[in-house]
Amino acid sequence: MTELEQLTALCEQLGAARAQAATMAAQLLKRAGQLAVERGIAREAALSHLLNLLVKGHAGEVPKEFSGPGENPPATESKPPNA
């Protein structure tokens, strides 16, 4: 089984339709190559990082690198005076 086929199967297991899973897998591989070059890291390390983000995103978790400084809770809707 090729790397692309393995990633496609993983994306399907996470709920993507076959065609969408194949597209996602191809994009993951392409981005892993880009990150490896940009950051000077091994392609496998870049792919591992992306897969970690994928799994956390699927679970509804926000990785630390995506949370802003001093995350503020969403603003509550306030009513104008005398409303």
What would the pLDDT profile of 4-32 be if each residue is shown by its tens digit? 999 999 999 999 999 999 999 999 999 99
Domain assignment present for 37: yes
Mean pLDDT, range 44-60, rounded to an integer = 93
**Domain carrying residue 20:** 3-58
Tally of domains within the chain: 1
Please choose, from the candidates 64, 62, 24, 13, the residue with its C-alpha nearest in 3D space to the C-alpha of residue 32.
24
pLDDT score for 78: 53
Domain assignment present for 83: no
Q: Please determine, for residue 79, whether its predicted confidence score (pLDDT) is greater than 70.
A: no
How far from 14 is each of 5, 33, 39, 43, 56, CA to CA, in Å? 14, 23, 28, 23, 11
Domain assignment present for 73: no
Domain assignment present for 44: yes
* Higher per-residue pLDDT: 48 or 83: 48
CB 24 within 8 A of CB 16: yes
Domain assignment present for 40: yes
Domain assignment present for 68: no
pLDDT band at 64 (very low <50, low <70, confident <90, very high): confident
Residue labelled with tokens 């091994």: 42
Which residue stretches of 1-83 are H helix? 3-13, 18-39, 43-58
Domain assignment present for 67: no
